[in-house]
């Protein structure tokens, strides 16, 4: 007998057409995301097709006090979409329609289950551009992107998911359907509840639809890869290039990352010189004059000793080849079962932050190899510590727990974020206090109580 | 004896250095904004110098149940900063320091009382740009801009005030000091309370400081003024130019507005042709190729009959002269004591919206002259009905109240906003339900209760 049988019986009566799965394979499949540390204990999976069905599910769940967990593309990295506590999962797989397109506004209405890549392709079909892009865009769903306010590689130019969301339809934890902001760029009529739902990791209610702003497509994207002598040079280059060009990306990685990517055969070295750090920057070369400006900045920066060596893409093929240096890092280092962390601090503090972490790791774990890369133009670092071959996975991760505490202490020292773009979910819940004060957490809980007084929707995520 | 004497006595004991004014002239001056319909009934004005002093004021106000109203540059147009109900005013005039500048992040910390223009000038001194600009920038304060999420003329390129705010320090209605988001571009650690305070019109607490993102300055700004045959052509031109260029502004106005501005001697006609509507668009002519693109779009649009006549600025002086056609409208028509409204709908609905309003006004009030202008690229219309000389001010405004109801009904029909950028305050409070549902308003009230359970801070604004 299912723990939530009475609820499921009510669902069967009220929504007889609703697709429901209760077999253990389905419960495992839809009951978890990409995180490995939490197991699914999902009791059933529901597949609504409309906002009204979602609202009915939430109202019945309130009557039966049945806890619900949202499920999108299940690509999350913080266990925000894991049904670990015996919840019923609400999957958005059957709400994947791309709806009305408002050409004059460049706004399209999509259901929460639309896959990121499908939206990117729709935008292309309209000679427009959906600016949010990241490794999992082939699987991740828009609803999940909104829940974590997904970022990715173009944030420096287009902002986070938040910046593209001009309207939301949500079903709150109380079962109310709210149509928030209606697609408007300007709307000064009280609290912007839309922004409260973006990044709430599904804890206030379910996002069922969104009105999404599309952008003018970028023109003649051109990349430079620069070898730089030290971390401070990266920050100086960001300032110089950032003032001269409208950058569409500004990424960095270290020599360790480059070595691993090249050893794995993904691409070749960008040039002969080897340097501690590399920058990959990208801009729209809309004219020869812009290219000349880029070259002039390059030359003056090289003269000033900020650049040791560099290369600029001359074609789309070269652009893609240069991007491999950055995009293949995660996959390449995954064989070293790395300890990973996704943090952010002000760009002004990045140099000191990295030095602090390096010093402690080198002192206490001299055999640990740190691989740094990330969206430096956004202050977002991906810290990866590679497992030495001499250590077992268990020994390594045990030691990394000590490192973890130090990393978060250092984040706190620089007033940074313990989660730049992956969310809190369950994996970072114990560490939330490093980035948010007790008062902030208390207000978050009060807001949760206002939207979901019975704690029906994704409770136990972000905070207890 | 002051109604709030016990509170003021407590202030005098706890904050003996605090500047306090209770004379009626000061109470009138600091107790109201630019709206004319509400009188100040302010009982005292306090001038804190630090966040800590603000927090102390709020804690004492809670003890004494003394209601407080924030006061910035007092340029508001919705009476959100009017102490109409005998409140004590907290002015931010003495919190006007521009603080630490984080060059690598292009972020500057400012106190809430910094005047918009002072921030613009600071940005210029750093070879950067503060992108929020509007008519009252010489008086408006950053705290007030944040309270109403101020927009202005560059929203199409840079977004609203919200988009520039990377961190906030606030004192909540309970007296808690919150440091929100710390300047980070990426921070996925739970609800983004910063966005709740932006646009809250000071009803959840006082904003005392902000971390503000500055932009790369625009290069070689170039404007076109285009005479167009009908409203639909404006929308078609927005699409064409918007796909070809990165626009920094896209404004419209009608022949009535142009006539009034020229009659008043502010500038001359842009060209010989007269057309029902005009577009003023602006872009960065970063290269000759961009100028050629702009000209090519112009020519193809003219061939397609979307443009009757046009002119492009060839110098800064010409750019400024063309802008007068748009910027002088408000001042010019003020002598006609216009009925004004600031609304927004999707760009896709603007044509139908305008036709609906025109039809009803023409049928019922054939002697009324409507002057349309606004930030069309943002879906933001300024509707102005000019008083016929034959009507007294009282008769005219009485008739306009009937128009008002129809305007808001039409906004609701198109799911638009009754206040695009001026806020709700007290002037639009009775009409909030045209843009926000009863459920939304109930959640707003619950949030207000969480941050300000005693209703100390700017209560009676936005909703009752």
Q: In which band, very low, low, confident or very high, does the pLDDT at B258 lie, cut at 50, 70 and 90? A: very high
CA nearest to A418, candidates A347, A340, A356: A340
Task: Quickly tell me which residue has 């925000």 as its tokens.
Answer: A80
Res B185: pLDDT: 95
Residue B190 to residue A444, Cβ atoms within 8 A: yes
CB under 8 A, 24+ apart: contacts of A35-38 = A35/A76, A35/A77, A35/A78, A35/A79, A35/A82, A35/A425, A35/A426, A35/A427, A37/A79, A37/A427, A38/A79, A38/A82, A38/A84, A38/A426, A38/A427
Note the maximum CA span of chain B: 75
Task: Quickly tell me which residue has 């300007």 as its tokens.
Answer: A186
Q: Å from B390 to nearest chain A CA?
A: 35
Tokens in use for B11? 């202030």
The predicted-structure confidence for B201-254, as pLDDT tens digits, reads as follows 999 999 999 999 999 999 999 999 999 999 999 999 999 999 999 999 999 999
Domains of chain A as residue ranges with CATH = 5-92 (3.30.43.10), 98-213 (3.30.465.10), 221-330 (3.30.70.2190), 337-434 (3.30.70.2740)
SS3 B102: strand
Helix (H) or strand (E) holding B122: helix B116-125
- Tell me whether B157 touches chain A (CB under 8 Å): no
Environment class of B319 (CB within 10 Å of its CB; exposed 0-12, middle 13-18, buried 19+): middle
ipTM score assigned to the predicted complex:
0.96
CB atoms within 10 A of CB B214: 24
**CB-based contacts of A287, cutoff 8 Å, min separation 6:** B286, B287, B288, B289, B290
Residues paired with residue B352 on neighbouring β-strands, in sequence order: none
CA nearest to B223, candidates B252, B250, B204: B250
- Looking at every residue in chain B, the average pLDDT score rounds to 96
Res A2: pLDDT: 84
The span from the CA of B62 to the CA of B78, in Å, is 26
Residue A104 to residue B183, Cβ atoms within 8 A: no
Residue A190 to residue B200, Cβ atoms within 8 A: yes
- Among the partner residues A105, A198, A204, nearest to B346 by beta-carbon distance: A105
Contacts A172 to B, Cβ<8 Å: 439, 443
Q: Å from A423 to nearest chain B CA?
A: 5
Contact B212, B164 (CB under 8 A): yes
SS3 A71: strand
Res B91: pLDDT: 98
- Among the partner residues A151, A195, A216, nearest to B186 by beta-carbon distance: A151
Helix (H) or strand (E) holding B358: helix B347-364
Res B434: pLDDT: 97
The predicted-structure confidence for B270-292, as pLDDT tens digits, reads as follows 999 999 999 999 999 988 999 99
Asked if the model's pLDDT at residue B267 lies above 90, the reply is: yes
Q: What is the CA radius of gyration of chain B?
A: 23
Residue B439 to residue A235, Cβ atoms within 8 A: no
Residues paired with residue A374 on neighbouring β-strands, in sequence order: A252, A381
Task: Quickly tell me which residue has 């999509």 as its tokens.
Answer: A110
CA B433, B160, B406 angle in degrees (round to 5)?
30
**In chain B, which residue's Cα lies nearest the Cα of A166?**
B346
The predicted-structure confidence for B62-79, as pLDDT tens digits, reads as follows 999 999 999 999 999 999
* Contacts A–B by Cβ distance under 8 A: 267
The span from the CA of B375 to the CA of A184, in Å, is 12
Residues B328-343, mean pLDDT to the nearest whole number: 91
pLDDT in tens, chain A (464 residues): 788 999 999 999 999 999 999 999 999 999 999 887 899 999 999 999 999 999 999 999 999 999 999 999 999 999 999 999 999 999 999 999 999 999 999 999 999 999 999 999 999 999 999 999 988 999 999 999 999 999 988 999 999 999 999 999 999 999 999 999 999 999 999 999 999 999 999 999 999 999 999 999 999 999 999 999 999 999 999 999 999 999 999 999 999 999 999 999 999 999 999 999 999 999 999 889 999 999 999 999 999 999 999 999 999 999 999 999 999 999 999 898 899 899 999 999 999 999 999 999 999 999 999 999 999 999 999 999 999 999 999 999 899 888 888 999 999 999 999 999 999 999 999 999 999 999 999 999 999 999 999 999 999 999 99
């Amino acid at each position: 007998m299912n723990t939530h049988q009475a609820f499921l019986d009510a669902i069967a009566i009220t929504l007889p057409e609703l697709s429901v799965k209760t077999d253990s394979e389905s419960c495992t499949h839809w009951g978890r995301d990409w995180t490995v540390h939490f197991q699914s204990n999902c009791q059933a999976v529901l597949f609504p097709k409309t906002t009204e069905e979602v609202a009915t599910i939430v109202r019945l769940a309130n009557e039966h006090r049945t806890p619900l967990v949202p499920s999108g593309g299940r690509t999350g990295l913080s266990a925000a979409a894991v049904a670990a506590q015996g919840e019923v999962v609400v999957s958005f797989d059957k709400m994947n329609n791309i709806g009305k397109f408002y050409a004059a506004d460049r706004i399209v209405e999509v259901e929460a289950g639309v896959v990121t890549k499908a939206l990117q392709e729709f935008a292309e079909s309209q000679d427009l551009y959906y600016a949010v892009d990241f490794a999992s865009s082939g699987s991740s769903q828009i609803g999940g992107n909104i829940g974590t306010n997904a970022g990715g590689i173009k944030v420096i130019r287009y902002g986070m998911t938040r910046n593209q969301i001009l309207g939301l339809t949500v079903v709150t934890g109380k079962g109310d359907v709210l149509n928030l902001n209606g697609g408007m760029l300007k709307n000064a009529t009280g609290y912007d509840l839309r922004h409260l739902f973006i990044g709430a990791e599904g804890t206030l209610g379910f996002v069922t639809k969104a009105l999404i702003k599309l952008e003018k497509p970028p023109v003649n994207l051109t990349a430079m890869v620069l070898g730089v002598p030290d971390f401070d040079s990266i920050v100086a280059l960001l300032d110089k290039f950032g003032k001269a060009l409208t950058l569409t990306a500004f990424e960095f990685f270290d020599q360790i990352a480059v070595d691993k990517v090249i050893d794995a055969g993904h691409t070749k070295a960008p040039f002969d010189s080897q340097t501690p750090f590399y920058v990959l920057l990208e801009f729209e070369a809309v004219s020869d004059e812009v290219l000349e400006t880029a070259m002039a900045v390059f030359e003056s920066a090289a003269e000033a000793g900020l650049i040791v060596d560099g290369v600029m893409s001359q074609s789309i093929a070269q652009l893609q080849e240069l991007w491999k240096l950055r995009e293949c890092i995660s996959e390449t280092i995954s064989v070293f079962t790395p300890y990973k962390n996704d943090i952010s601090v002000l760009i002004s503090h990045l140099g000191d932050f990295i030095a602090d972490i390096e010093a402690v790791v080198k002192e206490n774990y001299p055999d640990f190899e740190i691989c740094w890369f990330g969206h430096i133009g956004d202050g977002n670092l991906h810290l990866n510590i590679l497992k030495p071959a001499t250590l077992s996975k268990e020994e390594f991760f045990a030691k990394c727990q000590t490192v973890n505490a130090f990393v978060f202490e250092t984040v706190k020292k620089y007033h940074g974020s313990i989660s730049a773009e992956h969310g809190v979910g369950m994996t970072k819940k114990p560490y939330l206090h490093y980035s948010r004060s007790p008062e902030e957490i208390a207000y978050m809980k009060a807001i949760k109580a206002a939207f979901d007084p019975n704690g029906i929707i994704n409770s136990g995520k972000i905070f207890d």
